[in-house]
A and B are shown apart, each in its own frame.
Chain A
Amino acid sequence: MGALLLFCAVLAFLELDTTYLGQVLLSRPLVVGSALGFLTGNFFIGLQLGIFTELIYLDFIPIGGVVPPSGAISAGIAVLMAHIFAMDIYFAFFIGILCGIIFSFVERKIRRYRAKLLPKIERALYEGKTSIGKVMLQSIIFQFLAVFAFALVALTIFGPLFSLINQDIPEKLHIAFKFSYFVVPWVGLSILFISFSTKPKTD
């Protein structure tokens, strides 16, 4: 349990970099996958899951108010599922992707909640009842806790559920998910090529 909490804490810390703290790409799936892979002793699985997640998420660009699925959550949950619940890498990847998509809805809720709090905070800042440094710190701690809780809940739901049905999963389904996983880097590389083909407009 202690290790699970530690892994979730690492994931929550790295995820902060996506938007709230840094944006130095410590939250990119490649880094999250490798870091958690290293911590769990599944370094190469973490690396591969990280790269595959990053390739499939390439066409999501966080422009303006767009909240794309979280690559950090996807890679992190996938690595932890593979390690803690001995989930096959192709199933872990699928669950990771689902969690990344679900988290984008949670993230939208959090941003709406912040918008709701905004007038109150602005008033407090104007009246000198709080400082902007304190507001930022609280916001970052809140985000950390939200991601931590999400990762913990996702792992405690999907993990035991998988363990329960693992024995009964037919071989055909394994092959189907394995092939879908095999396709990922190729789809990702073709996205990569197309994204590099779009040249900037000349003014």
Chain B
Amino acid sequence: MKRFSIFLRTFLIQGFWNFSQMQNLGALFVMDTTLKRLYKPGSDAYLRALVRNMETFNTNPVMSSYSIGAMIRQEEVLASSKKEDFEEQEREWRIIRATTANTAASIGDRLFWATLKPLSLVFCILVLFASEIQVIHEEIYKGEMLLKVFLAVLAALLVYNIPSIAVRLRGLKDSYQGNEENFYGLINLNWNKAITFLKTLGQIFTVFIIFYGIYIVFGNSSLNPDSIARMSLLVAFIILSIFMKKLNIPNIFLYIIAAIVFGIASFLA
């Protein structure tokens, strides 16, 4: 298995994302080198493998390597299997493809999209705060701090990409060497423990950002009707946003509604 070449190809797994078969052509692109290695292009076996690999596929792009490695292994089994075992092994290939993709998607969405991505933003804001760049304030710092901002953005990218690249690489190896017992490497790591730890870390840092932010914005303002009104509205919005989150309504609509309502109210006032 040309691991590095396959690893690089996984970055294009969503290159032809479509509503009909989702990542099917992307997955074929990743598997292409393996198919050409195992079968003579144009042969019946190659064409059958091609059709098989164009079936519906969908998973989390980062965790896709956990499916790809297992599929490569089973493709090798298929290529060397006897005629009477072929149908059974092909059915096994489909089971492996579907089950690993579903499980990897569930883990990947929770770990990478719902935890690491927001956590990396939290890290960026913390680095900016440490550099005294108050990004959440209306009037932001306008000094010469280009390098510090660059480092903050870089920190956000690294916090996400170091684990994601490591998982892509490890996923290929673990799933290729894996079996049913360890669910093709997917249970080699305690994902839930990692997610819980990262979420707790995120919670602690977010609370710090909120309190530090309140201090920055309201710390120097005296208690006058204007600042009390602003703070009350802010609290109302925070409560509303929590309420909307519970109702599964994206908070972007809260912002749009607020802009429209305030706009209309400003004319009526």
**Contact between A193 and B259 (Cβ–Cβ < 8 Å)?**
no
Given contacts A61-B109, A177-B259, contact A48 B18 (CB under 8 A): no
**Contact between A135 and B263 (Cβ–Cβ < 8 Å)?**
no
Residues of B within 8 A of A201 (CB): 192
**A175 contacts chain B at the CB level, 8 A cutoff:** yes
**B86 contacts chain A at the CB level, 8 A cutoff:** no
Residues of A within 8 A of B157 (CB): 24-26, 31
- The CA-CA distance from A114 to B119 in the complex, in Å, is 34
Q: How many residues of B contact A (CB 8 A)?
A: 90
In the complex, per-residue mask of A84-110: 1 if CB is within 8 Å of any chain B CB, else 0: 000000000010010001000000100
**A167 contacts chain B at the CB level, 8 A cutoff:** no
Residues of A within 8 A of B39 (CB): none
In the complex, per-residue mask of B106-128: 1 if CB is within 8 Å of any chain A CB, else 0: 00011001110111111011000
**A189 contacts chain B at the CB level, 8 A cutoff:** yes
- The CA-CA distance from A199 to B117 in the complex, in Å, is 16
Other A-B pairs, 8, CB within 8 Å; known A21-B11, A24-B164, A118-B20: A44-B140, A101-B252, A111-B17, A132-B29, A173-B267, A185-B136, A192-B202, A200-B110
- The CA-CA distance from A117 to B21 in the complex, in Å, is 11
Q: List 9 A-B contacts (CB under 8 A).
A: A23-B61, A61-B113, A63-B105, A172-B267, A177-B259, A186-B234, A196-B118, A196-B206, A199-B196
Partner pick for B203 among A122, A132, A197, CB 8 A cutoff? A197
- The CA-CA distance from A128 to B35 in the complex, in Å, is 14
Closest B residue to A137 by CB, please name it: B15
Closest B residue to A31 by CB, please name it: B153
Q: How far is the CB of B169 from chain A (nearest CB, A)?
A: 14
**B207 contacts chain A at the CB level, 8 A cutoff:** yes
Interface residues of B in 26-44 (CB under 8 A from A): 26, 28-29, 32, 41-42
Tell which of A4-12, A52-60, A75-83, A148-156 binds the partner: A52-60
**Contact between B54 and A125 (Cβ–Cβ < 8 Å)?**
yes
Given contacts A56-B252, A190-B241, contact A198 B199 (CB under 8 A): yes
**A-binding residues in B (CB < 8 A):** 11-12, 14-22, 24-26, 28-29, 32, 41-42, 47, 50-51, 54, 58, 61-62, 105, 109-110, 113-115, 117-122, 124-125, 133, 135-136, 138, 140-142, 146, 149, 153, 156-157, 160-161, 164, 191-192, 195-196, 199-200, 202-203, 206-207, 209-210, 213, 230, 233-234, 237-238, 241-242, 245, 250-252, 254-256, 258-259, 262-263, 265-267, 269
Given contacts A44-B140, A62-B113, contact A22 B11 (CB under 8 A): yes
What are the 10 closest A-B residue pairs judged by CB atoms, nearest first? A115-B20, A176-B262, A172-B266, A114-B18, A196-B202, A180-B259, A185-B136, A115-B18, A176-B266, A136-B15
**B-binding residues in A (CB < 8 A):** 19-26, 28, 30-31, 34, 38, 43-45, 47-48, 51, 54-65, 69, 94, 97, 101, 108, 111-112, 114-115, 117-118, 121-122, 125-126, 128, 132-133, 135-136, 139-140, 170, 172-173, 175-203
**Contact between B255 and A56 (Cβ–Cβ < 8 Å)?**
yes
Residues of B within 8 A of A20 (CB): 12, 14-15, 17
- The CA-CA distance from A34 to B203 in the complex, in Å, is 25
Residues of B within 8 A of A114 (CB): 16-20
Partner pick for B199 among A97, A181, A188, A196, CB 8 A cutoff? A196
Residues of B within 8 A of A63 (CB): 105, 109, 113
- The CA-CA distance from A177 to B51 in the complex, in Å, is 54
- The CA-CA distance from A194 to B26 in the complex, in Å, is 34
